[in-house]
Amino acid sequence: MSKRLLGLILVLPALATITLLFLVPLAASIIGAFEIEGSYGLGNFDKAFALYSQDILFTVVIVSLSTAIIGLVAIAIGGYLTLGENTLAVSILRWLYRWPLFIPFIVVGQVLRTFLAKNGMMNNTLVSLGVITPLEATSFLDWRGIVIAFVWKQAPFVALLVSGAMASLDRGTIEAARNLGASRLRILVEIVVPQVATTLIVGLVLSFVTMMSVLSVPLMINAQSPTMITADIAFRLNAYRDYGVANALGLISLLITASVAWIYLKHNVRSQA
Amino acid sequence: MTPAPFLEVKKASVAYGATTVLEGIDLAIAKGEFVALLGSSGCGKTTLLRTIAGFVKPVAGTISVAGRDVTRLPPDKRGMALVFQSYALWPHMTVAQNIGYGLKLRRQPADAIARRVAEMEALLGLTGLSRRKPAQLSGGQRQRVALGRALAIDPEILLLDEPLSNLDARIRLSVRHEIRALQRRLGITAVHVTHDREEAMVMADRIVILDGGRIAQAGTPEEVYNRPVSSFVAAFMGAENCVSLAGRVTGGHFAIAAGPTNAPCTVPLAGRPLVDGPVVARFRAEAATLVPADDASAKPEGTLVLSGRVESASYPGGHWRHAVVVGPDTVLVDAPAAFAPNTAVKVCVPPQALFLFSPAGAETAKAGPSAYKSNKASELAGA
């Protein structure tokens, strides 16, 4: 009995920290989403959907598209690191691809803003190379800019996880396929990726959740409508002190990420069965 | 040797960076032959197999199949299939998909693949398991799936990289015979890597013993077992007992001089490249007999008799195994009945079971001062 008590005392600081700093604010925020001037109801959600349903859809589409592209880029990078035969190219890629991991989102937004603008570095380069004329130059500072920023920042993270999983595969499974005559692309698609699917999905779910919570990129790259939920939440709080709608939008965003996490859990349970 | 080798390795050398793993390997394998590459870990046997398979490029030398140089060809263009030590089955595919993958890559129609897969499953006793994933199979079943995957594409040469090392000892014995019988039935040429001497003896037509990246000896199981060409091969083939003797060549015989622990005797040279001076003698525990020290009965002509003292006895089954101290060495000798520890005994080794080797380089330094020195050494040892 005293041993049990001691155990309880030992975990108490951790438990208290989680309760005070995580559970209580979360509960307050969820309750706040239903609170309208002292009473409870769905009014905040009505308002949120009336004003921002387009932004909610925009957010889901942008983040899903980014996640898909991140998956492809990560598989390509991990695949080349695992199956590439040019050792110099492999070591250069290994050295280069991780750099965006160490750059904060706000800096990514800033860098891409100057790079993707109508008179930005990308268009200037294309014009000076004669690929496009100055009149054809368009700004990428819209949904495309957000997708580019997300992929640029998150693909290295997923590539890091995926290439680690690929590196720890039994090389024999790759060589056996080569021995039977499979091309490198087929080996990647049919042998390597299925074996690292769980890691890939974990990385993509984590990236999805991260992207859902980024404020700086939509604010810096896409300061127009439609924009992402995070920008709307910030706007409701800063401009109107409207905690009710902000909390409702937060809960909607939480439900979107929870559904993605549920896909992950379902996959995890199935692969362990 | 065989008239027209089917698989031929010529002067192949392999290096990883600055480390030479294989040096000047020459190996000719006839069609339908089963060859075992035998050696301890790190001897280069797996590297040789992977070089033949095409996963390792030799820095020098060639590999050819039926007279065609395949040294620069990728692994899938050599008509070979490799069975991996880890089996390397694809965990996300079923048994049928694993076996049929090579045929799928060859763009065969689905019904032809299904027929061939069913044929392989029947051949390997996997019928009824085709929808299982590798994780749901036993070790022996996985091994057979790996074999089926390799055989499904009908390769001319089957390469086996220690395919039995992950199996239970009991299953291993039966799988040895299964693989051998299958290889005979299909008439396929096989190269088998193993570190298990008995496995190599039982399975192979010819054994190639590798040591430090070179071929130490190649021959039939009977040859390498009874006529080892070096002390290393003798030890590797089970003649672990080792004593130092000295003697001189006289006509077709080698006269072993009396030493502190041995009586003089004369054994037939039988073509062995022995020279005057010290020799290393090796023999197997089961080839020698043990008699009490006061035993005065006549021994057959040429028997080496060593005097020693029993240190301990154990019963591994069928006979007693004794550790006998002979001078500075300890040898293991089998006997039908146990001798008590500290009993003075004689170890009798018949001439056909006694392997003698002159130290390396002794042949070249036969004449001159070194011969004198070695004679001197043997005199000192005899004193």
pLDDT at residue A273 is higher than 60: no
pTM, two decimals, is 0.80
State whether residue A168 sits within 8 Å of chain B by CB: no
Q: Does B148 lie in the same domain as B51?
A: yes
Q: Is A75 exposed, middle or buried (0-12, 13-18, 19+ CB in 10 A)?
A: buried
Residue located via tokens 């080797």 = B357
Q: Does B243 lie in the same domain as B218?
A: no
Confidence of residue A156 (pLDDT cuts 50, 70, 90): very high
- What is each CA distance from A92 to A75, A77, A86, A88, A184, in whole angstroms? 17, 12, 10, 6, 20
**Cβ contact (<8 Å) for A195 and B92?**
yes
Determine, yes or no, domain membership for B55: yes
Structural domain total, chain B = 2
Q: Tell me the mean pLDDT in the region A114-125.
A: 88
Determine, yes or no, domain membership for B234: no
Measure CB to CB from residue B84 to each of A176, A191, A195 and give the nearest one.
A176
Instruction: Give the β-pairing of B206-211 and B34-38.
Output: parallel
* Interface test with chain B among A180, A185, A187, A201, by most B beta carbons within 10 Å: A180
What is the DSSP-derived secondary structure letter of residue B262?
B
Q: What is the pLDDT of residues B43-93, one digit of tens each?
A: 889 999 999 999 999 999 999 999 899 999 999 999 899 999 999 999 999
> Is domain A52-108+140-272 classified as CATH 1.10.3720.10?
yes
Q: Does B198 lie in the same domain as B55?
A: yes
**Structural domain containing residue B55:** 7-226
Determine, yes or no, domain membership for B255: yes
Inter-residue long-range contacts of B267-270, CB under 8 Å, 24+ positions, other chains counted: B267/B302, B267/B304, B267/B351, B267/B354, B267/B356, B268/B302, B268/B351
pLDDT at residue B381 is higher than 70: no
Q: What is the pLDDT of residues B304-321, one digit of tens each?
A: 999 999 999 999 988 999
Q: Does B141 lie in the same domain as B73?
A: yes
Q: Tell me the mean pLDDT in the region B3-13.
A: 87
- What is the Cα–Cα distance from B133 to B130, expressed in whole angstroms? 8
The torsion angles phi and psi of A97, rounded to 5 degrees, stand at -65, -20
Determine, yes or no, domain membership for B233: no
Q: Where are the domains of chain A?
A: 52-108+140-272
- What is each CA distance from B41 to A79, B168, B209, in whole angstroms? 32, 20, 12
Confidence of residue B371 (pLDDT cuts 50, 70, 90): very low
pLDDT at residue B41 is higher than 90: no
Determine, yes or no, domain membership for B1: no
Q: What is the pLDDT of residues B111-141, one digit of tens each?
A: 999 999 999 999 888 989 999 999 999 988 9
* Chain mean pLDDT for chain B: 88
What pLDDT sits at residue B324? Answer: 94
Give chain B's contact residues with A (Cβ, < 8 Å).
53, 55, 74-77, 80-82, 84-92, 101-102, 105-106, 149, 153
pLDDT at residue B104 is higher than 50: yes
% residues pLDDT > 90 (chain A)? 62
What pLDDT sits at residue A64? Answer: 96
pLDDT at residue A131 is higher than 90: no
Contact B89, B142 (CB under 8 A): yes
What pLDDT sits at residue B363? Answer: 52
* Nearest alpha-carbon partner for B311 in B348, B360, B344, B272: B344
Q: Which of B203, B226, B249 is the last residue of a domain?
A: B226
What pLDDT sits at residue B111? Answer: 94
* Chain mean pLDDT for chain A: 90
CATH code, B85: 3.40.50.300
Q: Tell me the mean pLDDT in the region B288-294.
A: 90
Q: What is the pLDDT of residues A8-17, one digit of tens each?
A: 899 999 999 9
Contact A229, A249 (CB under 8 A): yes
What pLDDT sits at residue B166? Answer: 81
Q: Provide the ipTM.
A: 0.79
Q: Does B322 lie in the same domain as B183?
A: no
* Residues from chain B contacting residue A173 (CB–CB below 8 Å): 88-91
pLDDT at residue A225 is higher than 80: no
Q: Does B293 lie in the same domain as B190?
A: no
Determine, yes or no, domain membership for B2: no
Sign of CA dihedral A125, A128, A131, A137: positive
* Residues from chain A contacting residue B53 (CB–CB below 8 Å): 179
Q: Does B126 lie in the same domain as B271?
A: no
pLDDT at residue B376 is higher than 60: no
CATH code, B337: 2.40.50.140
